Chain A
Amino acid sequence: MSSSFRSEEMCLAQLLFQTESAHNCISELGHLGLVQFKDLNPGVTAFQRRFVKEVKKCEKMERILRYLEKEMVKSSIVIAPTKEKEIVPCPRDVLELESTFEKLEQDLREINRNHVALRQNLSELMDIDSLLRMAEDFFEEAESLMSCSEPPSEDSMCMTVSSRITSRRNSSSSIIGPPYLGFIAGVIKQERFPAFEKVLWRLFHGNFVLRHAEIQATEELQTDRGLAKKDVFIIFVQGDHVREKVRKVCDGFHASLYSCPKTLHERKEMSNNIMTRMEDLRLILRRTEEYRAGVLMKAADHVHEWSSKVKKMKAIYYTLNLCNIDITQKLIVAEIWCSVSDLTLVHNALIKGSEQSGSSVTPVLNRIQTQQTPPTFNRTNSFTEGFQAIIDTYGVGTYQEINPAPYTTVTFPFLFAVMFGDCGHGLVMTLFAVWIVTQAERRYIILLMGMFSVYTGLIYNDCFSKSFNVFGSSWRVQPTFHPHGPWHNDTLHDCEHLQLDPVIPGVYSGVPYVFGIDPVWNIASNKLSFLNSFKMKMSVILGVSHMLFGVTLSLFNYAYFRNFQDVLIEFIPRMIFLLSLFGYLVLLILYKWCITVPSDVAPSILLLFINMMLFDYQSQHHLLYEGQKAVQICLVVTAVLMVPVMLMVKSFLVYRTYMKSRQPVFGNSLNDQHGADTRSSFSQHQSNETVSMSDIFVYQAIHTIEFCLGCISNTASYLRLWALSLAHAELSEVLWRMVLQVGLSFSSGMGSLMLALIFAAFAVLTVTVLLVMEGLSAFLHALRLHWVEFQNKFYEGSGYKFTPLSFDSLLKTQQ
Chain B
Amino acid sequence: MVYHSVALPMICFTTLWGLVGVVAPFLVPKGPNRGVIITCLVLTAVCCYLFWLIAILAQVNPLFGPQLKNETIWYLRYFWE
Chain A residues at the B interface, C-beta cutoff of 8 Å: 1-2, 4-5, 381, 383-384, 406-407, 409-411, 414, 418, 455-456, 459, 471-478, 481, 492-493, 495-502, 507-509, 511-518, 520-521, 523-527, 529-530, 533-534, 537-538, 541-542, 545, 590, 593-597, 599, 602
Contacts and interface: CB of A to CB of B under 8 A. Distances in A.
6 contacts: A492-B73, A499-B64, A499-B68, A502-B65, A530-B66, A534-B54
B80 interface: yes
Contacts of B59: 474, 512-513, 517-518
A545 B66 contact: no
A524 B67 contact: yes
A406 B47 contact: no
A595 B57 CA distance: 10
Contacts of B33: 381, 383
Contacts of A518: 59
Contact of A594 (B5, B57, B73): B57
Contacts of B65: 475, 499-502, 507-508
B6 interface: yes
A800 B72 CA distance: 63
Given A476-B80, A512-B56, A455 B48 contact: yes
Nearest to B66: A524
B32 interface: yes
A455 B40 CA distance: 16
Contacts of B54: 534, 537-538, 541-542
Contact of A502 (B34, B47, B64, B67): B64
B58 A1 contact: no
Contacts of A499: 64-68
B69 to A, nearest CB: 6
A411 B43 contact: yes
Contact of B32 (A1, A455, A529): A1
Contacts of B66: 475, 499-500, 520-521, 523-524, 526-527, 530
Interface string B45-81: 0011011101111111111111111101110110010
B55 A406 contact: no
A602 B63 contact: yes
Nearest to B62: A502
B27 interface: no
A410 B51 contact: no
State the 4 A-B residue pairs at the shortest beta-carbon distance, nearest first.
A524-B66, A500-B65, A512-B59, A410-B43
B36 A4 contact: yes
A536 to B, nearest CB: 11
Contacts of B47: 410-411, 414
B38 to A, nearest CB: 9
B44 interface: yes
A459 B55 contact: yes
Contacts of A525: 67-69
Nearest to B41: A410
Nearest to A590: B57
A496 B68 CA distance: 8
Given A4-B35, A406-B35, A545-B50, A526 B55 contact: no
Nearest to A509: B2
B58 A534 contact: yes
A208 to B, nearest CB: 91
Contacts of A475: 65-66
Interface of B: 1-6, 9, 32-36, 39-40, 43-44, 47-48, 50-52, 54-70, 72-74, 76-77, 80
B72 A508 contact: no
Contacts of B73: 477, 492, 498
Contacts of A523: 66, 68, 72
B48 A406 contact: no
A511 B4 contact: yes
Contacts of B64: 499, 501-502, 526, 529-530, 599
B44 A495 contact: no
Contacts of B69: 496-497, 525
Given A481-B77, A537-B58, A594-B57, A511 B5 contact: yes
A537 B74 CA distance: 33
B6 A511 contact: yes
A379 to B, nearest CB: 8
Contacts of B43: 407, 409-411, 414
A418 B54 CA distance: 12
Contacts of A383: 33, 36
A500 B68 contact: yes
Nearest to B7: A511
A593 B60 contact: yes
B80 A473 contact: yes
Given A410-B40, A508-B62, A599-B63, A524 B68 contact: yes
Contact of B3 (A459, A511, A524): A511
Contacts of B58: 533-534, 537-538, 593
Contacts of A456: 51
A472 B64 CA distance: 19
B62 A516 contact: no
A455 B20 CA distance: 15
Contacts of B40: 406, 409-410
A538 B54 CA distance: 7
A511 B77 CA distance: 20
B34 A1 contact: yes
Contacts of B48: 414, 455
B63 A497 contact: no
B58 to A, nearest CB: 5
Contacts of A502: 62-65
Contacts of A411: 43, 47
A584 to B, nearest CB: 17
Given A515-B9, A526-B64, A590-B57, 14 more contacts: A1-B34, A381-B32, A383-B36, A414-B51, A475-B66, A501-B64, A511-B5, A511-B6, A513-B59, A514-B56, A541-B50, A542-B50, A593-B60, A599-B64
